[in-house]
Structure 1
Amino acid sequence: MPVLVKLKKTREAKGLSQNELARKTGYSLQNIQKIEQGRAASITFDALGRFCEVLECQPGDILEWRPNNIDDKTGHSSNDEVLKTASEEVEGKSESPKSTKRQPHMIVIDANRGAA
């Protein structure tokens, strides 16, 4: 899932228990546990607003976006190979005649890479 809910981390940083958060937000303890364990399919803006109000934080403190294709071992996106292939083809360095079949439909720009 590309959006991670960091409710547990944010709640713990504020020194609240799951029971306290449940009581202050009006959500059940089971619902809080489900969200924190990543078993909730979605979270409403109302719930996000209540959590932010009680935890005195911003939505970005609770939600984090991560691409689906991050390699956990290297921390690099699997798009790196697509970018390498695409740049080689643009520069004329691709030696494989099959490489034209691998041309990406979209080039993803990685903000963490240095400018070319």
Structure 2
Amino acid sequence: MPVLVKLKKTREAKGLSQNELARKTGYSLQNIQKIEQGRAASITFDALGRFCEVLECQPGDILEWQPDNVDDKTRNSSDEIVLPTASEKVTRKSDVPKSTKSQAHMVVIDNNRGAA
């Protein structure tokens, strides 16, 4: 049950740069980049709320759940990142896909890891 994070796609659709999104949400540019590049292991509901407020969107515009039986090619485009589910333990940063350009940041994936 992977979760797709479409922050970059949503941000670009609203015509905002990463710098503008960082300034308006109070998050650092580096944090926004980390999210969009798939290097963040989680996203807090507070962060999701800030993104939705600034981007004037719903959480479903940033996050999308895909069933396990969906082919990898279908669920992994250049603007989306696939996060493992809670049952798929992430033990190393290398376990998070690196080939995607967009970042993920949603509910904690592994309760033993801290928020991004």
TM normalised by structure 2 equals 0.59
Counterpart in the other structure of 1:11: 11
Deviations 1:25-77 (A, max 9, x none): 000111101111111100000000000000000000000111244224588xx
Counterpart in the other structure of 2:53: 53
Change (3 A) 1:74 1:2: closer
Distance 2:13 2:3 in 1: 20
Instruction: Give the letter aligned to residue 37 of structure 1.
Output: Q
Number of residue pairs matched? 75
Amino-acid identity (%): 95
Counterpart in the other structure of 1:29: 29
- Larger % of helix: which? 1
Change (3 A) 1:69 1:47: same
Counterpart in the other structure of 1:20: 20
Change (3 A) 1:30 1:68: farther
Cα root mean square deviation, aligned: 1.9
Tell which has more relative contact order, 1 or 2 (C-alpha 8 A, sep 6+). 2
Instruction: Give the letter aligned to residue 15 of structure 1.
Output: G
Change (3 A) 1:74 1:7: closer
Q: Give the greater-gyration-radius structure (CA).
A: 1
Distance 2:7 2:65 in 1: 14
Counterpart in the other structure of 1:64: 64
Mean CA deviation greater in 66-75 or 12-21 = 66-75
5+ residue gaps, structure 1: 76-116
TM normalised by structure 1 equals 0.59
